A and B are shown apart, each in its own frame.
Chain A
Amino acid sequence: MDDLDLSPLKDRLRLLQPKGRSGLLPALHTAQDLYGYIPEFAAEEIARTLRVPLADVYGVIDFYALFLKQPAARTVIHVCADPACAMAGADGVMKRFSQSVASKNTAEGSLPELVVERAPCLGLCEHAPAVLVQGRGATASSAQSYQDLVKGKPEHPRSVIGRSINLLTANCGKGRPTTLEEYRQSGGYQALEKALSMRPGEIITMVKASGLVGRGGAAFPTGMKWEAAANAPGEIRYLVCNADEAEPGTFKDRVMMEEDPHRLLEGMIIAAYAVGAQKAYLYIRGEYLYPYEVMSRAIDEAAAAGWIGETIHGSDFRFEIEIRRGAGAYICGEETALFESIEGKRGFPRLKPPFPTTAGLFGRPTVINNVETLCNVPLILNLGAEEYRKIGTEKSPGPKLFCLSGDVARPGLYEVPFGIPLRVLLEELAGGVRGQRPLQAILFGGAAGVFTTEKDLDVRLSFEDLRAVGLPLGSGVITVFDDTRDMRDICYRLARFFAEESCGKCYPCQIGTQRQEEILHRINRSQPQSEDWDRLQDIGWTMSDASICGLGQTAASAVLSAMRLWPHLFKPSV
Chain B
Amino acid sequence: MIKVFERPKSLTDKPFHYCPGCTHGIVHRLVAEVMDELNIRERTVGVAPVGCAVFAYEYFNCDMQEAAHGRAPAVATGIKRVLPDCVVFTYQGDGDLAAIGTAEIVHAATRGENITTVFINNAIYGMTGGQMAPTTLIGQVTATTPYGRDKDRAGYPVRMSEMLATLEGSAYIERVSVHDIKHITQAKKAVKKAFETQLAGKGFSMVEVLSTCPTNWGMTPAEALKWLETNMIPYYPLGVKKEVE
Q: Do A and B come together as binding partners?
A: no
A-to-B contact residues, CB < 8 Å: none
B-to-A contact residues, CB < 8 Å: none
